[in-house]
Amino acid sequence: MLDKVNELILEVKAFKANSKEEVESFRIKYLGSKGILKDLFGEFKNVENSLKKEIGQALNNLRSAATDKVNELKDAFESATESQSSYGDLTRPAEPIPLGARHPISIVKNRIVEVFNRIGFTISEGPEIEDDWHNFTALNLPEYHPARDMQDTFFIEKNPDLLLRTHTSSVQTRYMENNTPPIRTLSPGRVFRNEDISARSHCIFHQIEGLYIDTDVSFADLKQTLLYFTKEMFGKSKIRLRPSFFPFTEPSAEVDIYWGLETETDYKITKGTGWLEIMGCGMVDPNVLKNANIDPTKYSGYAFGMGIERIAMLLYQIPDIRMFYENDVRFLEQFKSVL
């Protein structure tokens, strides 16, 4: 019997299982109520007293070997299933991570900024609630000047000196106060005008304005910069400048780009002319320089300004300006692929 028990111990130690089920039947085979150990202990009763000690020890060894084996294998299978559930099926195709999208206004603003960054313009920002001086007076728009009516203004009732800025030219006023030429700055930001809301206009929109001041800046520099911009931004290389009026620039011009008349939409957005107005510009009025303590006999400069919504509507063929502010996910999701 001793030999048999020792053989069984070796067998138990060498046992390997491929599944939980195999471990279970192994347990039943050795440790179950009708198992091998039960039988052996039954036989043990008939063993001669002189052999009882040795065989008894061997039986105990067999029992603990079997118990250890079962526990060891059970643990192994359990940790295997645990790690399986935490990693999942590694061969399964990945689930898409829902990505956000940048707002089209940010996309277009970043692109404009990037184009002007390349020729040395840096960004400046200012407050949305502005005082009269920075938004109007310093820009050659004294009180009661009729040109103030060009931009319907939201005033702050409690303090008539305060208003919501009607253009980001106010940031340029501040920049000129705090910096000396040469100045090359770009001011993007939100502006406010008391206008009826429609598909084409809104009371809140975004502008980006540029200001360049140095010695010997000429209208040719302005035109060349605008040409560079339209080429980089729209891939169009034909522009025209129409005489216009802004109180803060003299001479002033409206910039049109030749968009072309290739598709039906081209006809629609250019009203059949092929030309599209994209911004206002001009040479900084000497009065504006004087107001900022910059000597107009020594320095000259140009400025330009455009509406970001308008450019975005052109680039993405967006028919209604209100779509920018409704935050309809179906609209916003369409800009996922653009950086």
Which residues would be at the binding site for ligand PHE (CB under 6 A)? 167, 169, 209, 246, 249, 280-282, 303-305
- Cβ proximity to ligand PHE, 67 vs 244, nearer residue: 244
Output the smallest distance, CB 286 to ligand PHE, in A.
Answer: 15
Burial class, 20, CB count within 10 angstroms (exposed 0-12 / middle 13-18 / buried 19+): middle
Smaller CB separation from ligand PHE, 29 or 145: 145
| 70/252 with CB nearer ligand PHE | 252
Q: How many CB atoms lie within 10 A of CB 325?
A: 14
Burial class (CB within 10 angstroms; exposed 0-12, middle 13-18, buried 19+) of 33? exposed
What is the nearest approach in angstroms of ligand PHE to the Cβ of residue 195? Answer: 12
Beta strands (DSSP E) in the chain are 122-123, 129-131, 162-164, 183-192, 204-214, 239-246, 249-258, 275-284, 300-307
Shortest Å distance, C-beta 245 to ligand PHE: 10
Between 249 and 300, whose beta carbon lies closer to ligand PHE?
A: 249
Which burial class, exposed, middle or buried, applies to 307 when counting CB atoms under 10 A from its CB (0-12, 13-18, 19+)?
buried
Q: Considering the complex, state which of residue 106 and residue 153 has its C-beta at the smaller distance from ligand PHE.
A: 153
Nearer to ligand PHE, 107 or 281 (CB): 281
Cβ atoms within 10 Å, residue 193:
18
Using the minimum distance from each CB to ligand PHE, give the nearer residue, 227 or 338: 227
How far from 170 is each of 128, 137, 139, 141, 216, CA to CA, in Å?
A: 9, 10, 8, 12, 24
Spatial distance between the Cα atoms of 38 and 40, rounded to a whole number of angstroms:
6
Cβ proximity of 282 and 253 under 8 Å = yes
Nearest residue to ligand PHE, scored by beta-carbon proximity:
305
Minimum gap (Å) between residue 246 Cβ and ligand PHE:
4
The pair of three-digit structure tokens given for residue 259, joined into one six-digit string: 């968009």
Question: From the centroid of its chain, how far is CA 163?
Answer: 31
* Closest CB to ligand PHE among residues 181, 247: 247
CB within 8 A of 164, min separation 6: which ones? 128, 129, 130, 153, 154, 156, 191, 192
The CB-of-98 to ligand PHE minimum distance in angstroms stands at 38
Cβ of residue 210: shortest distance to ligand PHE, in angstroms? 8
Cβ neighbours for 275, distance < 8 A, ≥ 6 positions apart: 240, 256, 257, 258, 259
Q: Is 53 left (phi over 0), alpha (psi -120 to 50) or beta?
A: alpha
Which C-beta is closer to ligand PHE: that of 28 or that of 204? Answer: 204
